[in-house]
Amino acid sequence: EVKKVLLGFYGSLAYGMSRETYSAVEVTRFREGSNEHTLPHLYSNTQQQTLLRNMLVYEAEDELLICPAIPRDWLRDGTEIRVESAPTSFGDLSYSIKSSGNKVKVVLRPEFRTAPRAVRITLRHPSGKAISRVQPAASASASGEAVTLKPSGRGMTLSVEF
Distances in Å between the Cα of 23 and the Cα atoms of 4, 26, 30, 110 are: 21, 10, 15, 31
Q: Which residues are 99's β-sheet partners?
A: 104
Angle, helix 42-56 to helix 2-16, in steps of 10 degrees: 150
The whole-angstrom separation of Cα 45 and Cα 81 is 22
pTM attached to this predicted model: 0.85
Residue of 146, 124, 161, 162 lying closest to 64 (CA atoms): 146
Q: Comparing 29-43, 60-74, 110-124, which segment has the lowest mean pLDDT?
A: 29-43
Q: Indicate the length of the chain as a whole number.
A: 162
pLDDT in tens, 58-103: 999 999 999 999 999 999 999 999 999 999 999 999 999 999 989 9
